[in-house]
Structure 1
């Protein structure tokens, strides 16, 4: 028992000494938060498309026939169908599959990627004109999202330094080197996922866009932000 008490006392002394050394190393410091924010327009918009035999007003048209028409219309719009059109489901998980030869296909789902809302509006018009109107937005994001995050983190650090300098100067001191950085790892809505309500600025008028060539869809800019907490030595 006596040995245990001696060991506990020794550990307490070591802990106290270590704490004292740290206090001596940085006797005073300032904690600041740096923030950075950027509004960006999505350049990757994913839309789900469903075609089936019941879509045609003129009677039954096979899925294969409608697919050929759809591909032709998309090519007219300058869309690389080999790259940007894939067979998939409505959840946004891109995938491909092989259909059995003895199976009659009455419905098929696709995922199409476009670069802006204007192109999406043209796609809607073109497909509605050939009786393909079942479309829903899946998600919108930026192709350079990771690079934007890196830039915002650096900007947040610079803002933290400026804040520390301003506060330190107000009390006649200087902010020295940083000895602790906490990345809060918050980037806001860098990717927006949609439900079947298709929440774009003019989603309620998508049907009208099929006949009104002047109509266009609009996406609100996405806000991406970053925050860091930094401790600077006060000199």
Structure 2
């Protein structure tokens, strides 16, 4: 019977395997120890956390209006229907006369997508169309409404409004809020004979407010009369308020 000696191939192979296993175990233990060491590292830097804010109110200069037009019988005579095409042409001409770009007027909806079939079925069927109009001031809108037959107007209302220079203004206010936070941190740190170091965290807090317009007559409902309809609207201003939460390092 033969026994493996130090020079036997099987003995050498077994020794190599044991050596590699020991190296692997040592490496694994070292990795676990290092991971735990880093995970237990505590940030010992002294910090100061402050909020800075900046706000501004602006008057809307972009207004989106909804206009609904409907066919009607002239003098209540069923044989004298004013067709939607005639009313629509009147609207487009009024838009042009008011100096409003034609692309600012779009169709929102048509009551009865197959209204031609409805007309054949029921001669008294009245077609209605809804439009969306973008204006930059209400004077042009009032001028437009003066040129449209009031009997064809079902209703008008304000869908929404905006401010044309809103994006540059947002950027400006955020910068001011950030500077306000830095100024606050500076005088608080100085009161403790410290100074502010580098910012460690910055968080933006958005407080935009777009209030709905207030109507003096609730809805801008058209009067069924020959008089022009010019509603009065009170617009609340758009209030922009930005807050910045900043964490600074506090140093001696």
Same fold (TM over 0.5): yes
Q: For this pair of structures, how many residues does the alignment match? A: 212
| Cα distance in structure 1, aligned partners of 2:230 and 2:82 | 30
Change (3 A) 1:56 1:35: farther
Structure 1 equivalent of residue 85 of structure 2 = 64
1:75 CA displacement: 2.1
Structure 1 equivalent of residue 97 of structure 2 = 76
Structure 2 equivalent of residue 155 of structure 1 = 176
Question: Which of the residues 184, 188, 193 maps onto 2:208?
Answer: 188
Structure 2 equivalent of residue 43 of structure 1 = 61
1:189 CA displacement: 2.2
Residue 52 of structure 2 is aligned to residue 34 of structure 1: yes
Structure 1 equivalent of residue 216 of structure 2 = 202
* 1:88 alignment partner, SS class: strand
- After superposition, the C-alpha distances for 1:25-56 in whole angstroms (9 at most, x for unaligned) are xx211101111111111121111111111386
**CA RMSD, 1 decimal:** 3.5
Structure 1 or 2: more strand by fraction: 2
1:8 CA displacement: 6.1
| Cα distance in structure 1, aligned partners of 2:74 and 2:184 | 63
Change (3 A) 1:107 1:120: same
Give TM-score scaled by structure 2 length. 0.69
Unaligned runs of at least 5 residues, structure 2: 1-25, 120-125
- Select the structure of larger CA radius of gyration: 2
Structure 1 equivalent of residue 195 of structure 2 = 174
